[in-house]
Amino acid sequence: MASMAADLCRKIHPHPVDEFDRLPDSLILLIFNQIGDVKALGRCCVVSRRFHSLVPQVDNVVVRVDCVISDDDSSSTSPSSAAAADKSRHPISSIFRIFFSGLFKPLQSLSQLIIPSARGFPLPEDFDCESEENTVTHHSPTQVLKNFNEIKQLRIELPTGELGIDEGVLLKWKAEFGSTLESCVILGAESVSQSGNISVGDNGADNGNGGTQESFYTNGGLRQRVVWTISSLIAASARHYLLQPIIAEHKTLDGLVLTDADEQGVLAMNREQLEELRVRPLSASSASKRTLVPALNMRLWYAPQLELPNGAVLKGATLVAIRPSEQPKKEAAAVGSEANWVASAFEEPFGTAARMLVKRRIYCLEMNSF
């Protein structure tokens, strides 16, 4: 009689059906790949055993770094000892400290990732992304990604760009690496404003087809652009150096992008470039923790003032296209194809700015390896 009552109860009040159980694994993985964010995926993996087994198979992952922490944050240096150290340094070091003062903050440690704890929501040990209540743990991207086995597309976002620039200054760069730098495009401007806000004295007229104003040479304009260029290359090579453990660990990668929330700089690598880095030795400076930059050929375009179709005006607009000197030279490219290459590095309206700049006079420069 009791069993009949139980059967009748089950018919009247059937057990709830988990609709996710009806979805095939391939569809759930498609959903997880759309999520992408590694923290959200870490929380998904505690929902069920099935989710926990599927999350490591995700092939499109985004790691958002909350905070970049110095390796020596725990150590402090007194002003007197710092001054003594400054005096003992080589004069060249002092020159470079002044040269980059206020412009370049080293990417001290991409290997420190802060993930805040969520109360009452512990994650399994395999995805150790949580800490005890009221505490915060530090995880490197390498540690966070260690349980993902099938990553094909990886995007890492820093909280901010490495280059500390003055307010109002525009500076953007995009670099591509294999085992070393393959190309870099830099776009800069002293200020960005709307056409209606330009005073009569700032008409920025130039000589015909992009001739530069004298102030480009006499008022520190050229020096500033050299600083922009060197700083961007150092930032790019530091990012590349710090990606080595991830690239070595995840051999399924087809593409990798390391960018920042400020959209200041982008480092990109495709499958061929990733594979090249795995098979060819890396030329790196362990002391400065960055990849060595090879000898470079640079092409520079400048406009005292550049008005874009959307009404934005770039004052002192500068575009620099960089390739290694030893890179096999491709056939002389037409202006159109070169414009497409440099413009593809930037989102609009800055892609349009690059196309406009390459129509102007070209200045060629060379730089030694550093």
Does the residue 75 lie in any domain?
Answer: no
Domain region containing 300: 80-108+154-367
Reading the block at residue 34, the tokens are 């759309």
Confidence at residue 6, expressed as pLDDT on a 0 to 100 scale: 59
State whether 168 and 291 are in the same domain. yes
Residue 141 and residue 194 share a domain: no
In a domain, 20, yes or no: yes
Q: Both tokens of residue 291?
A: 């990849």
290 and 318 fall within a common domain: yes
Whether residue 73 is contained in a domain is answered as no
Residues 237 and 138 in one domain: no
Does any domain span residue 74? no
Residue 277 and residue 232 share a domain:
yes
> For residue 349, is the peptide bond before it cis, meaning its omega torsion is within 30 degrees of 0?
yes
One DSSP character per residue, 154-211 reads: EEEEESS-S----TT-EEEEEEEESSSEEEEEEEEESEEEEGGG--GGG----BTTTB
Same domain, 60 and 202: no
By CB neighbour count within 10 A (0-12 exposed, 13-18 middle, 19+ buried), where does 238 fall?
buried
| Last-in-domain residue among 98, 118, 151 | 151
Q: Residue 196: what pLDDT?
A: 63
Q: 43-62 pLDDT, tens per residue? A: 888 888 888 899 999 999 99
pLDDT of residue 170: 93
**Which helix (H) or strand (E) element contains residue 9?**
helix 2-12
Cα separation, 142 vs 46, whole angstroms: 21
Within-domain flag for 185: yes
101 found inside a domain: yes
| Co-location of 348 and 211 in the same domain | yes
Q: Is residue 204 part of a domain?
A: yes
Together in a domain, 201 and 327:
yes
How many domains is the chain built from?
A: 2
Measured at the CA of 347, the angle between CA 342 and CA 350, to 5 degrees, comes to 65
pLDDT tens figures, 135-156: 445 667 788 888 898 999 999 9
Pick from 128, 151, 174: which residue ends a domain?
A: 151
**Regions of the chain short of the pLDDT cut 50:** 70-136, 199-205, 207-212, 331-335
Q: pLDDT at position 77, please?
A: 42
Return the SS3 of 291. strand
* 175 and 269 share one domain: yes
Contact 123, 46 (CB under 8 A): yes
Is residue 117 domain-resident? yes
DSSP sequence for 203-263: ----BTTTBPPTHHHHSSHHHHHHHHHHHHHHHHHHHHHHTHHHHHH-TT-SEEEEEETT-
pLDDT confidence of residue 328: 65
> Tokens standing for 27?
């569809």
Q: Residue 234's closest CA among 89, 54, 103?
A: 103
Whole-prediction pTM: 0.74
pLDDT value of position 45: 85
Q: Are residues 88 and 128 in the same domain?
A: no
For residue 21, what are the CA distances in angstroms to 51, 55, 260?
Answer: 11, 16, 38
220 and 322 in one domain? yes
CA-to-CA distance for 254 and 274, rounded, in angstroms? 8
| Residues 184 and 278 occupy one common structural domain | yes
pLDDT of residue 254: 95
Domain boundary among 151, 184, 212: 151
